[in-house]
Structures are given as C-alpha cells and as structure tokens.
Amino acid sequence: MIDFRDVDDVNFGGALDALALLVVIAGGFATLPSLYGSTPLALAFGGAVAAIGGLRFGWRIGAKLRLTHGGDFDINSHSPPPVEPGDIRLGFVAHSMQELSVTQKAWKQHAMVVGKSGVGKTVMGSWLMMQQIAAGGGLLWIDGKVDPDNIEMLHHMCCWAGRGDDLLIVNPGTPSESNSYNPLLAGDADEIASRLGALLPEAAANAAADYYRSTAINAIASIVAATRAAGYAITFEDMGILLTRPSALEWLLAELRKKGRAEQAMQFGLFLDQLRQRDRKTGADVLDQDGLRKMFGGLGARLGQFSGGDFGAVMNTYAPEAQMKEVVRQGRVLYLALPTMGKGEAASALGKIVIGDFRSTVAAIQKLPKSERPQRPFLGFFDEAGSYVTQAWSRMFEQARSANLVMCPAFQTKGNLGVLGDELRGMVSGNTDTKIFFRPGEPETEAWCADMIGKETQAVHTHSESEGASARGVSIHERGRGVTDSQSASRSASHSVTLRKDYAVSADELKKLGEGECVVSLAGHRIYHVLVPRITFDDDFAERAGPFRPRHSADVQTSDGLEPLRILQRPGAIH
C-alpha cells in the first residue's frame, strides 16, 4: 500500500519545477475558447501540454512515496545499489520497491539463509535458482525435506529456460523417478575414505575415540586403494561386504597377487596382518571377524542401508548418470532428495556422503586451469542443512571461492550448526557475506541473528514542553490603596538528542517478519528489508512441460574404465 506521509518531505522549486509549472499553465490557456476555440483538437492539445508538465510533478512525488507491505516490521533500509547486468537479484526493498541485487564478485563470497520452517527459505532458494538456471549456470540443490512440488518446480524452471535435458534428479525415496548415483567412484582412495568416514561419530574432543576413528578411515582407504589397484569399481554393496567379511578381503589380496600388483599386494597384506590371529583349531593365521567389527565400528552395517531396497536401486550402479564433477564442469542441474521423514538415518548419512563428494569436486575443480572452471559461478543450495552438516563444511567455503563455486546453506536454528562445535558455526557465518534472515523460531536463534546483523548509532530525541499561569486578586482595602489584580503566564520547551549504539534489528523486531519477508545484510554493514518474489507457472505452461520423467543416458561408462567388482558373484569371495 502507499504511505502519503513522505509527500510532506517534497520541496518544490528550482528552474525545472518552475518550467513544469509554466507548461501546465500554458496547457490550461490552450483550452480557452477565446484563443483557440472550443474544438476537440484544441482541448486535446491543451491536455497534452498540461500532462507534460504534470509528469514532472508526478515523478517528484512518486519518488517519495513508499510502497509498504502493510506488516508490523519496519526498519530504515539502506539505499540499494544500482542493478547491473549479471547481478543476482535478491528481491525488492519493502519501502521503495527497488530491486536489491549483489554483484557476482560479492556473490562468490557465499550466502546463508536462516529462518524457521514455512517462512520463505525455499521460496528464496527457488528465486535464486531460477536466475541461475535462466543464465545457463550449474546448480546443486540438496533438499532435506523432499517436497514433490519442489521437483516439479525445478523441472518447470529447466523447461522454461530450454534446459530440460540438463536436469538430473537423485531421489532414493522414489527410484522409478530417479537418475542413478554412486559417490564411491570418483576421487582417490583417501577422498572416498573421507566421505565414508563422515558416517562415523565425530570424536575431536576425545583422544582415544579420535584414534579409532582415524584408524577406521585409514583402513577404508587401504581397501579402496586395493580395489583400484586390482582394476575394480565398487558400489556400497561391495564395500559393505569388504568391511564385514574376512573371506572377501583374502580374495582381494589374492587378486592383487594374481594380477602382478606386487607392491600393492605387499601394502595391503601388511594392513591385513594387523587383523590376523592364530586359529586354535587349525593353527593357521586367519583374519579376525571381531577385529573387523571393532575396527569399523558398525560402518559396514550402515553401508547396508544403501545397498538394498530403494536406496540400492538408485545407488548400486557402476555407471552412474549423476556424477558430481561432471555436473559442475558441464553446468548441469542436480537435485538430490533426502527422505528425512521416512528414512531419517539413511537420509542424513547420504547427505553427509554427498557433501564429501561435493568437497572432493571442489578440490578437483580448483586444480583445473581457469579456462576449464565454471564460467558462471556454480551454485550449491543446501536446504535444511542442519540434518547433514559435517566438519567438512569448515574449509569448503574457502576452497569453493577460488574454484568459482558459491555455497548457500539454509537452516532453521543456531543449534543446527552448533552440533559440531562453535568453530564450525563461526566458519560458516564468517565466510558468508550475504546473510538472509527470515523469522526465527526460537529465542537463541533470534539473538544470534540480531548479533550478526549488528548494531548502529541511533539518535534518541527527547522533547518536553511546559506552561503555567497564575492570577492574584486583591481585597477592597487594597484596591483603595491603588493595588490592582495581577496575573502571569509562562511557557518553556526543550529538545535533546542522545546518540547510542543499539541493534539495527532487534530480536523482538525479527519476530514481526511475515511470510516472504526477510532482512538482508550485505558485507556486514548494509541492511535491507526485502520482499521475496514467489516463482509460479500457470497451468497452461505446466501442461505443456508435462510431469518430470528422468532422462536415462545409454552411453554412461564405468568410472576410469574399471571393471565392476560385483563381489557377490566372485568365486571364493564369500564363504
């Protein structure tokens, strides 16, 4: 709605305003019958001349009118910078309805979105992703709540931009509507071990537990390196068996020797010797089943979640259609659904593995010549990131910037980032120049957001006025002596201004934000009250686009030309 109070601040004057006034008056004279007659042509000419002058006054007044959202939230937004081609648009400043944008250089300093469920985080994400897709950029969207409408929305965005073939959907909850994905193929042995290590409990505060965790990760790296040396690609099913079956490890050692990989066989044999003990019945040295279980801490059982059922249908592949590095290099669009409601533990574990895959991709892109990196910054939007955050986040922001990748996590509470320690929360908030705050859902998060928005110098005006009057009558005796009645009046006013530092947006004010409203902080010192546009497509376009159907590629090859392991089919591997 329009607030006319600001019109009081308009001061007319100067040569241009005087000229505009003369033009309006001239238009009025042009309609006088005594000068030009009363023909319709004369009236039209006079009205046109007057309108030219009126446009000047209309522009002056319109520049001061504020288009307000009608809500309870109100702050003094800074003046937005001019929008340049290629800028990323965040929404509209509430009081002026001017577009707020950030340059691509500033956008590469990363962003974060905070707010309770249902207040507009995904709407903001959709607005950002629509721009990314329309500009031909690449996108990774990890969705921690799996709304089928989000998949259709992304499908419509890609179709609208003519990029329907660029869309890949990884949806373990619905294999029939999913592309295939296997994060155990790309990267070296240490990188794959790091991804799987994310499933082990963090133990930085406990030296003994940290030792066993590091030992398990190193053991996984040894096994992966052995499979690579033997020329095999692996899936979660293969890895789960190798971590739990001594006979499978013995088979792998024999394969290395049979294929003439003497050095790798020696190294792998030294690793297995740590797990050997003498069999009391036969006197032979055999791998200890309990030793395996203790070393990997149940990781093999966790991997079993991805080797069967719906997850297995999507992820037990040796030739995945969705390959993270190629998605980034080719600027494709990848949506990864985490079914956290129905399969919470498996979904959270998958999210952590995918983040590990993304981190390895960032490192790989960093090593490429600048000419081979994404030309437009690749966008990673991590919705409901609190359900799959890991320590790997702490360094990704710094690495991604130089690789021309933008990270934008969205989460609900301060505690979502605090589960792994204050350092991680500080790394995320300290490495994001664009901060977007929707209505928080609990007091600690409200206070944290207010602290990040910061304080400003505010002027507190105090004005006071007072007045008084008195009257005094005299007696008849006094009148006889010439004394008369008397009266007096007084009035005083004072005004003082006190400067003080206070929150630019307090925790209580953040509670007043409505749906689709947010506070945007740019570079830590410019603050805006922003309204976020909602992306919708009409029924006619949705019908023409049709429902999403995954496009399955027929020419996908096994990673690096490796042979599929399929360990269950290998004679002697399982007994």
Query: Are 433 and 464 contained in the same domain?
Result: no
The answer to the question of residue 524 being in a domain is no
DSSP annotation string for 70-115: -SS----PPPPPPP-TTPEEEEEETTT--EEEE-HHHHTT-EEEE-
Block residue for tokens 């990188």: 191
Residue 203 shares a structural domain with residue 294: yes
Residue 337 covered by a domain: yes
Domain co-membership, 295 together with 353: no
Identify the pLDDT of residue 112. Answer: 93
Q: Domain of 122: which CATH number?
A: 3.40.50.300
Question: Does residue 92 share a domain with residue 137?
Answer: yes
Picking from 412, 429, 452, the residue at the C-terminal end of a domain is: 452
Which residue stretches of 368-431 are H helix?
393-402, 415-418, 422-430
For residue 311, being part of any structural domain is answered with: no
- Cβ pair 164, 158 in contact under 8 A: yes
Q: Are residues 194 and 95 in the same domain?
A: no
Residue 508 in any domain: the answer is: no
pTM of the model: 0.80
Q: How far apart are CA 181 and CA 315, in angstroms?
A: 5
Residue keyed to tokens 């590469």: 108
- Taking alpha carbons only, the member of 239, 238, 235, 194 closest to residue 217 is 194
Name the nearest CA neighbour of 233 among 296, 186, 282: 186
Q: Is residue 465 part of a domain?
A: yes
Regarding whether 440 and 328 lie in a shared domain, the answer is yes
448 and 333 both lie in a single domain: yes
277 & 330 share domain: no
Q: Flag whether 560 is in a domain.
A: no
Pair 104, 40 in one domain = no
pLDDT at 372: 85
Q: How many Cα atoms sit within 13 Å of 304 on the Cβ side?
A: 8
- Distance between CA atoms of 175 and 188, rounded to whole angstroms? 28
- On whether both 445 and 340 belong to a single domain, the answer is yes
Mean pLDDT in consecutive groups of 10 residues from the start of the chain, 575 residues: 47 70 67 62 64 65 50 76 93 91 93 92 94 96 86 95 95 92 92 88 70 87 94 93 91 93 92 84 80 83 85 92 94 90 78 91 90 90 85 81 92 78 79 93 90 79 74 67 70 76 86 92 89 92 92 66 90 82
DSSP 29-70: HTT-HHHH-S-HHHHHHHHHHHHHHHHHHHHHHHTT-EE---
Instruction: Give the Cα separation of 363 and 406 in Å (integer).
Output: 14
Q: Range of 490's domain?
A: 455-503
Question: What is the predicted pLDDT for the residue at 519?
Answer: 94
* The predicted structure's pLDDT at residue 2: 38
Q: How many domains does the chain have?
A: 4
SS (H, E, C) 501-529: EEECCCHHHHCCCCCCEEEEEECCCEEEE
Residues 93 and 164 in one domain: yes
Which pLDDT belongs to residue 31? 65
Assign 397 to helix, strand or coil: helix
Pairing of β 434-437 and β 111-114 = parallel
Residue 427 forms part of a structural domain: yes
Which of 360, 243, 247 has the alpha carbon at shortest distance from 303?
Answer: 243
Residues in the chain, total:
575
Looking at residue 168, its amino acid is: L
Query: Residue 177 to residues 145, 237, 447: CA-CA distances in angstroms?
Result: 17, 22, 42
Provide the pLDDT for residue 38.
58
Are 395 and 378 contained in the same domain? yes
- Whether residue 332 lies inside any domain: the answer is yes
